[in-house]
A and B are shown apart, each in its own frame.
Chain A
Amino acid sequence: MNNLRLGKKMTYKNKLALLALCSALFAAGTAMAKPGNADKGKEVYDKRCTWCHGAEGDGAGAAQDYLNPPPRDFTSGNYKIKTSSFEDMTPNDDDIFRMIRDGMPGTAMPGWSDLLSEQEMWDLAAYLKSFAGFDKPPEKQVDYGTQVKSSAESIEKGKKLFEDGDRCVECHGKSGKGSASKRLKGGGGERTWPRNLTKPWTFIGSSDPKDIYTRISTGIAGTEMPSFADPKSKNVLSVEERWHVANYVESLAKTGMTVNAENTVIKADKVEGELPATTDDKRWNESVPTAFYLVPQIIGEERYFKPSNDTIIVRAMYNDKMVALLMEWDDRTKSIPGDESAEKIADEPIAEDGVAVQLPVVIPTEMRKPYFGMGDESHPVNIWHWKSGTKSEPEAANLLNSLGFKAIEKRDAAAVGLKTVSSYSDGTWKVLMYRPLTTQAADKDIQFAEGKFIPVAFAAWDGSNNSEKGSKHTMTTWYWLLLKPATGSRPLVAALAIMVLFAGGLLWWARSAGRAAGRQH
Chain B
Amino acid sequence: MNTTQKRRIPLLLQMALVIFGTYFGFILVFDVLLGQLIPKSLLTMYMVFVVSGVLMVYTFTEEGTRELTAPIKALVEDPSKRNIRNVVFVIVPLLAGYYTYSSMLPSFDPPTELRTIHPAPPNKFKAYGKSFDLTKLENPYRKFEKEDPAKFKEHVREGGDVYIKNCQYCHGDKLDGKGPYAPGLNPTPLNFQDVGTIAQLQESFLFWRIATGGPGLPDEAAPWISSMPIWENFITEDETWKVILFLYDYTGRRPRTWEHE
Contact = CB atoms under 8 A, between A and B. Distances in A.
The answer to whether A and B assemble together is yes
Interface of A: 2-6, 48, 51-52, 61-63, 66, 107-110, 112, 114-115, 259, 261, 264-265, 267, 292-296, 298-301, 303, 305, 310, 367-372, 376, 379, 451, 453, 476-478, 480, 482, 484-485, 487, 490-492, 494-496, 498-500, 502-503, 506-507, 509-510, 513-514, 516-517
A301 B233 contact: yes
Given A4-B183, A66-B165, A51 B173 contact: yes
A118 to B, nearest CB: 17
B186 A108 contact: no
B96 A4 contact: no
Interface string B105-130: 11010110110000000000000000
Interface residues of B, number: 57
Interface string B75-95: 011010000010001001110
Interface string B166-182: 00110011101011111
Given A108-B180, A115-B174, A369-B224, A495 B100 contact: yes
Nearest to B75: A510
Contact of A367 (B100, B163, B222): B222
Given A4-B183, A498-B100, A484 B106 contact: yes
Nearest to A111: B174
Top 6 closest A-B pairs, CB basis? A293-B184, A499-B97, A495-B101, A491-B104, A502-B93, A295-B184
A145 to B, nearest CB: 36
A110 B227 contact: no
A469 B96 CA distance: 60
Contact of B173 (A52, A490, A492, A507): A52
Given A298-B181, A487-B106, 19 more contacts: A3-B180, A4-B183, A51-B163, A62-B165, A108-B169, A261-B183, A293-B181, A295-B185, A298-B229, A301-B233, A367-B111, A371-B223, A451-B106, A477-B227, A487-B105, A491-B100, A491-B105, A499-B94, A506-B93
Interface string B219-248: 100111101111001100000000000000
A259 B183 contact: yes
B172 to A, nearest CB: 6
Contact of B160 (A2, A51, A299): A51
Given A6-B183, A110-B178, A367-B111, A499 B224 contact: no
B215 A376 contact: yes
B150 to A, nearest CB: 16
Given A484-B106, A490-B104, A4 B181 contact: yes
Nearest to B109: A265
Contacts of B104: 490-491, 494-495
Contacts of A110: 172-174, 178
A506 B93 CA distance: 9
27 contacts: A4-B181, A4-B182, A63-B165, A108-B169, A114-B176, A265-B108, A265-B110, A293-B183, A295-B184, A295-B185, A298-B169, A299-B229, A299-B230, A305-B169, A367-B114, A371-B223, A477-B186, A478-B186, A487-B106, A498-B97, A502-B93, A502-B96, A502-B97, A503-B89, A506-B92, A517-B77, A517-B79
Nearest to B97: A499
B98 interface: yes
Contact of B215 (A298, A371, A453, A510): A371
B184 A294 contact: yes
A170 to B, nearest CB: 29
